[in-house]
Chain A
């Protein structure tokens, strides 16, 4: 049991947790800035970015994929802003125009190019393949301290851990300016803070999280984790630091419960096959949000809570 768990379940579980937390962290600030749907837009445009990187390099190596996806995210943000200003329409509509078009272009490119030799298709982009990220070299818990076996870990694991580290570092460094600019952009600007760069930096951080997680777990988890754990955390507390803490806890809980439910749930119910772990993690995060919305101590806007 131990050996099987370490080889088959531990790596995808860890990758799922890392991906969930990496997305939930910047998601807190996107939520507070009313930009929750930027996460949705980014996770859609990652596809054309990756396809173009593949067409240019002919491989699915990590670095070109990351660069392609980040470039696409940047392009999308610039286009959304350009469309919004030129056509003078609300941000939501501008977003809708840009991300659907880019996603359509990505799908078309993918269909037109020969990707039979590599693992690249729309379904994979949407819900990844968490279950396949297994650790063949593991023979048991002892493998965790065996350098030879560790070298055989799925490469998504260290990559995701690195992404989480970068996100944590960036948020730690930018915490105060980000909080000030999110609460009161005008005041932040009078302090000399580069508010536009801060906003763009946050979106780029979200893009990094989306790209890293996308490869391992697909874009459903990305969108769900950008929004659901921070939204649940919002129902629990009125302090920014505590909110971020709650969101991390909810992200981990979603990943663990979702992965277990997807892998073992159907077996317990008498089915033979497990179901999509990515989809289940998103579903669980939604259930958690449902519970916190019904029972969270801070579910109402502060003004209403005062009167009870």
Chain B
């Protein structure tokens, strides 16, 4: 395992807040986002403590991805406030990394795997600095971390879905962020990839970083995450998985569509 030097150690908290607790990795207040004239997310409050691993779960069309995109400033909310480590988004960009849905880009783009991973270094490199050997080394180390070291020079269109997802994760790893925001990282990937990704995420958490992932598979919530945020346009319930992952809460989130949840592999325990 290649050790990666931490640029922004989260563990250095509390910084200048005296004896106060560290600010939450993410806090959302009164967030409403609408597409056209239908709110996708309505008046949602959410807090993610540092060092936790949170799943955002809800039925299809419940606003999971929209919530994530609003947090990242990718969609403009009608109202509400988002803070990352107590800062506005524009001042916290160096501390966050985003893993979009795999299907959101055109994989026929002329680029190699290593090129995509190097995109994660853009904030460090800026406009003019060249990519140097140490940057390449870091990118390769991140590829190795997701088990893709042998694919560095492969054209991205030749990868399987699971491999594409790992490349996206490697691109986020190279950013060395404190908060990782992932949109459906396990959607349509093979079992080996799912295992590799969750392994890396658990390592990140062990390093003190925070993870928030949109997730759709109820059967793995308990095994993968320690916190759960249930949403269906409104926030339904939030907290440690052990407290929140209950039949009653899922019923409230999925309602008449609980069949859908069960189809997704949900095991409902009381």
B12 lies within 8 A of chain A by Cβ: no
**When each residue 173-197 of chain A gets 1 if its CB lies under 8 Å from chain B and 0 otherwise, what string results?**
1101101101110110111110000
CA distance A302 to B15 in the complex (A): 49
A119 lies within 8 A of chain B by Cβ: no
A237 lies within 8 A of chain B by Cβ: yes
**When each residue 220-248 of chain A gets 1 if its CB lies under 8 Å from chain B and 0 otherwise, what string results?**
00000000000000100111101100000
A147 lies within 8 A of chain B by Cβ: no
B133 lies within 8 A of chain A by Cβ: no
Q: Using Cβ atoms and an 8 Å threshold, which residues of chain B touch A193?
A: 122
- Whether A238 lies near B119 (C-beta < 8 A) is no
Q: Using Cβ atoms and an 8 Å threshold, which residues of chain B touch A184?
A: 100, 104-105, 119
CA distance A8 to B104 in the complex (A): 52
Q: Which chain A residues in 267-308 approach chain B with CB under 8 Å?
A: 301-303, 305-306
**Dominant SS among interface residues on chain B:** mixed
Contact status of A191 and B156, CB under 8 A, knowing A184-B104, A186-B98, A301-B108: no
CA distance A173 to B97 in the complex (A): 25
Between B72, B73, B100, B108, the greatest number of chain A beta carbons within 10 A of the residue's beta carbon is seen for B108
CA distance A177 to B110 in the complex (A): 15
B198 lies within 8 A of chain A by Cβ: no
A32 lies within 8 A of chain B by Cβ: yes
B116 lies within 8 A of chain A by Cβ: yes
Contact status of A192 and B104, CB under 8 A, knowing A176-B127, A302-B156, A306-B158: no
- Whether A32 lies near B119 (C-beta < 8 A) is no
- Whether A192 lies near B90 (C-beta < 8 A) is yes
- Whether A190 lies near B109 (C-beta < 8 A) is no
Q: Using Cβ atoms and an 8 Å threshold, which residues of chain A touch B119?
A: 176, 179-180, 183-184, 187
Contact status of A173 and B123, CB under 8 A, knowing A238-B155, A239-B110: no
27 A–B contacts, CB within 8 A, in A order = A32-B106, A32-B110, A176-B119, A176-B127, A177-B122, A180-B119, A180-B122, A182-B109, A183-B119, A186-B69, A186-B72, A186-B74, A187-B119, A187-B171, A190-B93, A190-B97, A190-B98, A192-B93, A192-B123, A238-B155, A238-B157, A239-B110, A239-B112, A240-B115, A242-B110, A301-B157, A303-B108
* A-B CB proximity, top 9 nearest: A302-B157, A238-B155, A190-B98, A192-B93, A240-B110, A184-B105, A183-B109, A180-B119, A306-B158
- Mark A residues whose CB is within 8 Å of B: 32, 173-174, 176-177, 179-180, 182-184, 186-187, 189-193, 234, 237-240, 242-243, 301-303, 305-306
- Mark B residues whose CB is within 8 Å of A: 69, 72-74, 90, 93, 96-98, 100, 104-112, 115-116, 119, 122-123, 125, 127-128, 155-158, 171
